[in-house]
Structure 1
Amino acid sequence: MSVIYLLITVSIVVAIIFLGAFIKAVRSGQYDDDYTPSVRMLFDDELKKNPNKIIQTQKEKQKSI
């Protein structure tokens, strides 16, 4: 019966250590997203917002050619 108490104690200590490591990683910025903001400018959000503007822009390009 004493082995069960020992295993429960050890598992709780290990869980607390992992929780502390996770909290430390979050506070130090380990999980910050550095990639998405640099690529966000490559996506055309304007085209999704106003589809009529796309048609007008395409017509203007054809007239200039």
Structure 2
Amino acid sequence: MDILYLLVPVSLLLVFAIGAVFWWAINSRQFENLEDEGQRILDDKEG
């Protein structure tokens, strides 16, 4: 039972850290143009 006093705060910190990284990714427009990046990989052009 004593381990819950450690695991619950650590879990909450992890959730907030993941949320902060996700929020940063959305605000820095990391997910704006997913189709072009996928198409760029499939193109055979060099350079």
Larger radius of gyration: 1
Moved over 6 A (4+): none
Q: Which has the higher contact order (CA 8 A, sep 6+)?
A: 2
| Aligned positions, number | 35
Q: Give ranges in structure 2 of 5+ residues lacking alignment.
A: 37-47
TM-score, with structure 1 as normaliser: 0.49
TM-score, with structure 2 as normaliser: 0.65
Percent sequence identity over aligned pairs: 29
RMSD after superposition = 1.3
